Amino acid sequence: QSVLTQPASVSGSPGQSITIPCTGTSSDVGAYDFVSWYQQHPGKAPKLMIYDVRHRPSGVSDRFSGSKSGNTASLTISGLRAEDEADYYCSSYTSSTSVVFGGGTKLTVL
Amino acid sequence: QITLKESGPTLVKPTQTLTLTCTFSGFSLSTSGMGVGWIRQPPGKALEWLALICWDDNKRYSPSLKSRLTITKDTSKNQVVLTMTNMDPVDTATYYCAQSRGVYSQSLNWFDPWGQGTLVTVSS
């Protein structure tokens, strides 16, 4: 059982926006601005999309954005494209100096 | 360009010790702010963080696996080694290594880029 809670699946049509929530506790997501998001296509290694809640690495589209409120972080993808269909994982630093991941969300582009 | 590649056995028997090596290029683990972490993913399941080692030799482990894990670095060879003792079939997974960066070694927490991963199967 993953420490961070994500919906198993979300879906959207091309051009739409979707948001994936990631719920933790006051000992991880709520305690630090150290939430990151990863995209994983089938059979591929994960790719960092967002770090430190809202920062995008160089080369990541600005259609991807991150935010946080209390113990819940969110990843928003705007202008949905077919290539965005993938699994998405959140992760957070914790008060015990460890790193925890969410259970993952499968994004389907209809 | 930063690259990482995992190597090690593809099959281990229950109770054996797994040793995985991450060989990287494009950065040095003797440079302030650098770290290398290990993350695994059982088939069809979620990612699980295992361990991380930093430039200053700070080492952090998953609390649930800490007693079984050891992470070390060889800066001269640009390698990080992870050992996991007492392997069990539930440890069957793809094991990834990835670079981590940050100001404080105690708070390195994100990983980019990742290696391609290596599938380790635990079976007798």
Q: How far apart are CA A91 and CA A108, in angstroms?
A: 21
What local confidence, expressed as pLDDT, does residue B105 receive? 85
Number of helices (H), then strands (E), belonging to chain B: the values are 0, 10
| Average pLDDT, integer, range B38-60 | 97
Mean pLDDT, range B15-44, rounded to an integer: 97
Q: Chain A interface, mutation test: which of B94, B105, B109, most A Cβ atoms within 10 Å?
A: B109
What's the Cα-to-Cα distance from B56 to each of A89, B53, B63, B73, rounded to whole Å?
Answer: 28, 8, 21, 10
Instruction: Identify the three-state secondary structure at position B13.
Output: coil
**CB-based contact (8 Å) between A8 and chain B?**
no
Quick: pLDDT tens for A61-101.
Answer: 999 999 999 999 999 999 999 999 999 999 999 999 999 99
A3 touches B at CB < 8 Å: no
**Hey, which residues does A39 pair with through a beta bridge?**
A47, A88
Q: Over 90: is that where the pLDDT of B106 sits?
A: no
Instruction: Say which residues have a Cβ less than 8 Å from residue A49's Cβ, sequence separation at least 6.
Output: A37, A38, A39, A56, A57, A60, A64, A75, A88
Would you state the pLDDT for residue B32? 95
Residues in chain A, overall count = 110
Report the pLDDT averaged over residues A31-42: 97
Cis ω before A57 (30° cut-off from 0) = no
- pLDDT tens digits, one per residue of A37-54: 999 999 999 999 999 999
